[in-house]
């Protein structure tokens, strides 16, 4: 007889790992025990040597689909003479932590039961098992046991308890396990429309509304009424996994426009939800890669090329893409099948506010937006938006990784990382101290580190109001508690006035820590891309290309079109777009026409203005502002270059959401035609050893195309080709001077699928090896990761 103690860490709680171990040991006639504790799972086995060896191999090879083993240690011990194999009670261990599973979309087994009239959970909106259901959004503390979740308020009935205690049942120790007899329930409330004064009073807590009709407490009646309301063009707030959605009929243009008006979101595209994969194929181009992501346990929003007009144009005005997702909860599955149409499914909030989470909060904040509320009584502990991804095919060729192996193809690009993915950590190829990187101002996430794990938070949002700050603080407290992290170092952006910078300073003071260490925004972008690819600290320097809208530079200017060389230990700015005036500073991003006027006036003079494009009086004011240098900070931003061209082509002169001008320029460029690969000219000057990209020739040639009445889509496409050529040209100059051949691409501009499709072949053909983001967004959602890893290496 031989005996071992086995310790397993990773995502091994809440994913059916203990019943898997129990059944595996039973199958192999091994005796002993398994238990959860605060840092993972411990197993003791004893029995025949051959079976014990097979057991250890099978732990990795046959682990449950949602498990993710990061370490597995085996220690020989003396046999204890156990009579059988058992699952022991969980143990709390002070200071220990474990990786926790994100929420998981409804699995195929539960889905079959959900729509089986013979099953006792038929059409029960909270069906789940060890392979699916809520996880992180319901956890209060570890170990992951029912008393440490928001399911503690729902004692199990006899039938559910029998499943819960049966190691051969897939609901064995499924903490959210429930049924109609003992679990959460849904109900529906309807309210009359209210005016502006009432909305203000409700926001202050001075007014409470009562339903028009009595609450519909039967879940079947509630679902039927919600269906009727949606088909009647009404807006329904629906409580999901991490918060509320606002839903309406995506085929009803009037309903969509009403939602836009109430949500104060006139142009930004909405996401839609469909019942089945075939429904997604009816409205969008679903590649095999997209199908795999849509039907994955994470069930994110996936950007698809539109293929029919079934969905109202108002869902994504002017866009040839649609954000599509499949249901992630049984409640959504039931509702989508009942309605039989695609539904807009957008975050339950006013624009720029956090998603509503609690029932009372939703009734207060969403009353002006929704006609009815589909509520339930399973509390949400962590606020989570839906994740958003797009498919980008890229096969990396380099092997500068700690393991010496290539990563898999980066086919998935995150635009927003939240439900289904966070809080799973980014695995680093080095160990970091416990630190807090507070992240950027926009598209904020924070990062907490411990050992070789970087816990990048879910998408928080734009840190520009009190509600988002409160969400940030609550999420940070949750991560610190669950992962047992006490930061020793605080890291923030270089910008002195960001809300995140002030938070970092206050946090450091209140916790007796040194003043925050500061990392320049675009260096953080490149460091994040390196960490996202598992790039070794001993790896060769890279060329880092950081293209985005804004970031505070070393010289106080607004950067955003930057080329660097270096690694985590330091990145030297070696090239950038030339500085041009930004009239009104960041406020100009809401009026791209002002940027176009300022750029033309600076580069080509007043005679260059196309007649009739801009109001002469308004343009004169901007030109005078530029001439006298009144609130016109210099910028090297690539994002602002896209804004200027978009306005110049009359694609978008006034923006109502971030990056609208650039996004709409990409959309129209995707329909353009080009007989050859010609591009607009640009110049590169060497100024004190720094390459500066000059743009006058580009604008002069672009104006020539406008004067010749070249179709706008063709001009937009040629501009995209020009930017791709610009990226390669600057990288080629840097390679000639340094010999570097690895290029890391980061920044929100690289969300542009057209630009990536143009740039990657050129870089590959030019002999460059390219790193793209893999697990965090290339936009500012990945900046906190870069702050963490870059500052650590700068500090030591």
Q: What angle do CA 55, 95, 484 make, to 5 degrees?
A: 100
Q: Look at residue 158 in the predicted model and tell me its pLDDT.
A: 98
Residues 498, 492 contacting (CB under 8 angstroms): yes
Distance between CA atoms of 400 and 407, rounded to whole angstroms? 10
Residues 76, 66 contacting (CB under 8 angstroms): no
pLDDT digits (tens, 9 = 90+) for 166-211: 988 999 889 999 999 999 999 999 976 555 445 555 555 555 555 5
> Cα dist. 271→11, 66, 105, 300, 390 in Å?
30, 26, 17, 11, 13
Q: Look at residue 206 in the predicted model and tell me its pLDDT.
A: 54
Residues 650, 643 contacting (CB under 8 angstroms): no
- Tokens describing residue 353: 């506010």
pLDDT at 492 over 80: yes
pLDDT at 627 over 90: yes
pTM equals: 0.93
Residues 231, 249 contacting (CB under 8 angstroms): yes
Q: Look at residue 405 in the predicted model and tell me its pLDDT.
A: 38
Where residue 584 falls (left for φ over 0; alpha for ψ -120 to 50; beta otherwise) is: left
Q: Which of 390-394, 406-410, 538-542 has the highest mean pLDDT?
A: 538-542
> Cα dist. 424→63, 66, 126, 453 in Å?
17, 12, 24, 9
pLDDT digits (tens, 9 = 90+) for 677-707: 899 999 999 999 999 999 999 999 999 999 9
pLDDT digits (tens, 9 = 90+) for 672-685: 998 788 999 999 99
> Cα dist. 623→175, 295, 597 in Å?
64, 53, 7
Q: Look at residue 89 in the predicted model and tell me its pLDDT.
A: 82
Distance between CA atoms of 500 and 768, rounded to whole angstroms? 36
Mean pLDDT, all residues of the chain? 92
Q: Which of 160-164, 392-396, 401-405 has the highest mean pLDDT?
A: 160-164
pLDDT at 410 over 50: no
């Amino acid at each position: 007889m031989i005996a071992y103690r086995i310790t397993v860490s990773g995502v091994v709680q809440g994913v059916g790992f203990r019943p898997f171990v129990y059944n595996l040991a039973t199958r192999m006639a091994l005796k002993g025990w398994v238990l959860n504790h605060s840092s993972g799972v411990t197993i003791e086995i004893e029995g025949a040597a051959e079976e014990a060896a097979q057991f250890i191999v099978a732990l990795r090879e046959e682990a449950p689909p949602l498990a993710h083993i990061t370490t597995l240690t085996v220690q020989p011990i003396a046999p204890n003479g156990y009579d059988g194999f058992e699952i022991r009670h969980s143990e709390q261990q002070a200071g220990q932590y474990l990786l926790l599973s994100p929420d998981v979309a409804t699995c195929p087994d539960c889905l079959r039961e959900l729509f089986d009239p013979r099953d006792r959970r038929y059409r029960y909106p909270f069906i789940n098992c060890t392979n699916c259901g809520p996880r992180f959004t319901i956890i209060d503390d570890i170990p992951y046991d029912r008393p440490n979740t928001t399911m503690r308020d729902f004692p199990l009935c006899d039938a559910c308890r029998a499943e819960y205690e049966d190691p051969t049942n897939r609901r064995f120790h499924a903490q959210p396990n429930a049924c109609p007899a003992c679990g959460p329930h849904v109900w529906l409330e309807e309210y009359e429309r209210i005016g502006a004064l009432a909305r203000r009073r409700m926001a202050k807590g001075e007014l409470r509304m009562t339903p028009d009709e009595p609450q519909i407490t039967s879940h079947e009646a509630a679902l039927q009424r919600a269906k009727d309301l949606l088909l009647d063009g009404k807006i329904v707030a629906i409580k999901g996994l991490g918060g509320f959605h606002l839903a309406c009929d995506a085929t009803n243009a009037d309903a969509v426009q009403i939602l836009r008006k109430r949500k104060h979101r006139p142009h930004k595209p909405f996401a839609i939800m469909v019942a089945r994969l075939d429904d997604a194929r009816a409205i969008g181009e679903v590649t095999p890669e997209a199908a795999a992501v849509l039907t994955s346990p994470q069930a994110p929003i996936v950007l698809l090329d539109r293929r029919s007009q079934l969905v109202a144009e108002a869902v994504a005005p002017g866009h040839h893409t649609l954000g599509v997702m499949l249901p992630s909860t049984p409640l959504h599955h039931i509702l989508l099948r009942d309605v039989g149409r695609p539904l807009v499914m957008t975050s339950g909030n006013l624009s720029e506010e956090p998603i509503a989470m609690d029932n009372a909060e939703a009734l207060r904040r969403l009353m002006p937006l929704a006609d009815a509320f589909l509520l339930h009584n399973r509390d949400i502990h962590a606020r989570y938006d839906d994740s958003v991804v797009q498919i980008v095919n890229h096969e990396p060729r380099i092997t500068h990784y700690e393991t010496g192996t290539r990563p898999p193809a980066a086919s998935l690009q995150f635009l927003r990382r939240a439900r289904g993915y966070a809080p799973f950590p980014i695995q680093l190829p080095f160990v970091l101290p416990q630190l807090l990187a507070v992240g950027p101002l926009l598209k904020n996430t924070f990062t907490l580190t411990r050992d070789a794990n970087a816990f990048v938070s879910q998408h928080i949002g734009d840190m520009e109001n009190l509600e988002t700050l409160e969400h940030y603080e609550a999420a940070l407290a949750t991560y610190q508690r669950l992962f047992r992290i006490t930061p020793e170092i605080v890291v923030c952006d270089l910008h002195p006035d960001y809300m995140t910078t002030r938070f970092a300073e206050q946090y450091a003071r209140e916790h007796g820590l040194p003043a925050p260490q500061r990392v320049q925004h675009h260096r953080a972008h490149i460091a994040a891309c390196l960490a996202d690819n598992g790039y070794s600290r001993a790896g060769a320097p890279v060329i880092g290309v950081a293209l985005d809208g804004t970031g505070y530079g070393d010289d106080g200017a607004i950067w955003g079109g930057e080329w660097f060389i270096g690694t985590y230990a330091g990145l030297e700015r070696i090239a950038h777009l030339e500085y041009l005036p930004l009239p009104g500073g960041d406020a100009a991003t809401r009026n791209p026409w002002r940027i176009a006027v300022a750029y033309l006036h600076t580069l080509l003079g007043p005679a260059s203005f196309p007649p009739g494009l801009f109001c002469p009086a308004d343009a004169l004011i901007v030109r005078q502002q530029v001439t006298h240098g009144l609130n016109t900070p210099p910028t090297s931003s690539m994002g602002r270059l896209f804004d200027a061209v978009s306005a110049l082509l009359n694609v978008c002169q006034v923006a109502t959401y971030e990056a609208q001008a650039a996004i709409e320029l990409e959309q129209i460029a995707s329909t353009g035609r080009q007989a050859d690969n010609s591009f607009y000219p640009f110049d590169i000057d060497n100024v004190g050893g720094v390459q500066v990209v000059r743009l006058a020739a580009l604008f002069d040639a672009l104006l020539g195309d406008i004067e010749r009445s070249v179709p706008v889509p063709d001009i937009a496409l040629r501009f995209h080709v020009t930017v791709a050529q610009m990226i390669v040209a600057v990288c080629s100059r840097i390679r000639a001077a340094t010999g570097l051949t690895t290029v890391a691409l980061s920044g929100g501009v690289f969300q542009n699928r057209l630009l990536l499709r143009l740039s990657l072949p050129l870089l590959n053909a030019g002999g460059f090896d390219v790193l793209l983001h893999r697990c965090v967004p290339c936009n500012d959602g990945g900046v906190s990761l870069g702050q963490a890893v870059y500052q650590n290496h700068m500090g030591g």
